[in-house]
Structures are given as structure tokens and as C-alpha cells.
Structure 1
């Protein structure tokens, strides 16, 4: 059997959905530009450098969900998809997903970005399985806190095993396990699967991929 996992930000997307969501809220006047823009950029640079404190970032990123009604959040998200996400879904990424959906036994997106932001994006790619950081919900209302293990770095491995167990499977059930990612932050999971693939990788991941003779490809077309 074949399992295929896709990272989302800067892998399937030619950009970062987490970063763009905050930028969208700033542009809509929902978040204060002076306060939030600098922090959003700073967190993004920390992520790219591999120094991000995921809990500090999630406190920043999930708090806005707790301050607005779900209907309003969903309305904003629909505009965000049109303005920010559809333009960075490349034809090459869509074609790769289509090929893997036809060939693999199980396909999922696995991302550090929260599921409120990413679930509609996964659906837009036609991928029904999503492993993402989960915002806490109490009585249908976001609390601004995270539920369970964030799907980040080694946490992606924890969440992958939990998800497979929920399906009655283990990673060992799959003769082939593929993971496509751009980021040094995903090295733990890339080193776990049988077929790691570096996609438009950052400098650290590119150097590692070259040393390990991993495939390197680009979806920026």
C-alpha cells in the first residue's frame, strides 16, 4: 500500500496560508496593522529559520478566532480564499495532487497551520484527509487555545500516528510512505517516511536533500 502526505505552506501552496490569513485580517482592519504586521513577519522569519516557538505563535494566531462569531469568521475566510489562496494554488501542485490521488491508497495534507484556515484549502485541492493543528472549541466557540499536540516538527509524527490509529492503521502497514515538504522544520517526518521529497526547499532542507540523494522538485508554475 502507498501513503502520500503533503505539507501545505510553500509546498502545495506558493506561499504561506498562516501568514496570509493574518495579513488578510490586517488588511480588513480586523487586526491592528501597527501591532500585528510586525509580529506576523517576525514569526514567519522565525519559522523559516527553524527557531519558532510554536506555542507563542499559536497564542498569537488563534486569539483572533476567539473574538468573532463563527459566521463572521467563515465569511472572512471565503474572501480570504478568493483573494489570497486561489492565486497561489499552482497548476503544477494541482496536477501532482491529482496524480497521487489516483495512484495512492491514502492521501493527506499534514500542516502546522490550524484546521480553521486549512480545511477549506484541503477541500479545494480535493484532499479529504487533513492533519492540522486543532484550535480548541468549547460549545462550538473557539477559545483561542490549541487542542492536543500542535502539528509541528516532531508533533507531526505524533499527530500522524494518532490519525492512522483512528483509521485502524499504522505506518508499517504501508510499503511506501511519501512526504512532500519545503521546510527544514519537517526533517523529523521526512526522515521517517520511505520516500521523502523536497519541494522548492529552503536552503537547509535543500542541502540535506542533496546529501541524502532525495528528489528535489519545484511546483512553482
Structure 2
């Protein structure tokens, strides 16, 4: 029997990054004048609290989060994303997070980021971490080839992360039994994939996940200050 391939999966927001990239993108678009500052801030914070509480309607959120990008179009949106990477994301990338990803890659592990944030925001972030495999919320495209505001397929949120990783494995001729999986996450929203993994790691965990990890004997890793 051949050895199982080692697979290292990473959540992104508050796991590899000490910020929430989705929320931060919303704040950024508000700052550059792409949204009404008062109403956008109210709704963005409302959705963020729903995410933290595990009650988020991801379809409604993605319509909201991608509305400015959809309206502004490809060229303006890509330019804004480049600025977002320079001004917001690059300063938030910590050496210890880069080192953690590199340690798995150097050990020969297959590395992937599995995030509930959409692919438009996260594709350049994955590249910044040197990660080629990204499982993110896939965005539907219209006849013009640009975003419609809808989600394409199963969103990579909560239990959907397990389904999306399974699809990713199937596309490579693999199943769960063929891989030895380590998954890093900060949030109880990812409890399904943590439980499905061979080596669950509570990384910068919120208070609830920290308690669960301690009770179950899971590894706890604080790369930087955990969020509340």
C-alpha cells in the first residue's frame, strides 16, 4: 500500500492573515469612494457579525461584497485590487505565517488555501503566500465575462469547505483516504473541516474554538494575537 500524500490546508482570514481580507476589502472600497460610507459601513459590520456568529447568508453577502466591483468593471476593479494588496494586505502578511506555509511546502506537502472569501479578493493573496492551489468562493460570470454578483457552485463556507475539498481531491483522482490532511483554522465556522482532517490545528483561535481544541487535544498555534 502506497503512502498517503500529505496535504496542508489553510484558512486565510485570522489564520494566515491577522485581518479579515473580505471585510478589509469592503472598508477599502468605501475609503476610495466606491460606496456610501455610512450605509456600507453599517451593512459590512452587520454581515461580519453574522459571519462570526455562524448565521451569515453567504449568497446575500457576496452580492453585497461584489456590488462595487461588478458596477465599476474589470479594469478599474483590478487596479483597485492592486492598490488594496499594496496598502492593506502586504503590510498584514507576517513572516511567521509565510514561514509556516513554506515549512509545509519544503517538506513536500501539497499546500492549499481554503477560504470563505471570494476568489477575486483572495487570488493575489494566495500568490503572495506562494500558494498555487486556492479553494475560495467561486464567482459566477455573465455573458460579458465579468462578475454577476452570484456564486458559482458550492460556496466554500462551513460544511461547504469539506465538499469543496472533496471536489478538489476528486478532480485529481484522489479521495480522503489517499491524503493525510492538516488543516489550520481560527474559527468555529470551520469545525466541519477541522473534524474531517487528520491533524486539526486551531491557529490563532477565537475563544470558542480554543476551548474546543483544548478539550479535544488538538494542537493550538498562535502565530499572532488571536481575535476575540
Match of 2:158 among 153, 159, 162: 153
Match of 1:136 among 135, 140, 159: 140
Match of 1:169 among 174, 182, 206: 174
**Residues 66-85 of structure 1, C-alpha deviations (whole Å, 9 max, x = no match):** 21221111100000001111
Match of 1:125 in 2: 129
Instruction: Report deviation, 1:155.
Output: 0.5
Instruction: Report deviation, 1:64.
Output: 2.2
**Residues 71-130 of structure 1, C-alpha deviations (whole Å, 9 max, x = no match):** 111100000001111111111101101101111431100000000100000000000000
For residues 66 and 95 of structure 2, the distance between their equivalents in structure 1, rounded to whole angstroms, comes to: 30
Within the alignment, does 1:180 sit opposite 2:222 as a pair?
Answer: no
TM-score under structure 1 normalisation? 0.96
Instruction: Report deviation, 1:201.
Output: 0.4
Within 5 A, what are the aligned runs for 1:46-65? 46-65=50-69
Question: How many residues were matched structurally?
Answer: 220
Match of 1:198 in 2: 202
Verify the 8 A CA contact 1:113 1:132 in the aligned structure 2: yes
Verify the 8 A CA contact 1:109 1:122 in the aligned structure 2: yes
Structure 2: segments with no counterpart, 5+ residues: none
Verify the 8 A CA contact 1:65 1:143 in the aligned structure 2: no
Verify the 8 A CA contact 2:59 2:150 in the aligned structure 1: no
By percentage of residues, which structure has more helix? 1
Instruction: Report deviation, 1:202.
Output: 0.7
Verify the 8 A CA contact 2:201 2:220 in the aligned structure 1: yes
Verify the 8 A CA contact 1:8 1:110 in the aligned structure 2: yes
For residues 202 and 52 of structure 1, the distance between their equivalents in structure 2, rounded to whole angstroms, comes to: 17
Match of 2:20 in 1: 16
Instruction: Report deviation, 1:51.
Output: 2.0
Verify the 8 A CA contact 1:59 1:145 in the aligned structure 2: yes
Structure 1: segments with no counterpart, 5+ residues: none
Verify the 8 A CA contact 2:9 2:114 in the aligned structure 1: yes
For residues 53 and 207 of structure 2, the distance between their equivalents in structure 1, rounded to whole angstroms, comes to: 10
Verify the 8 A CA contact 1:135 1:146 in the aligned structure 2: yes
Runs of 4+ in structure 1 displaced over 3 angstroms?
none
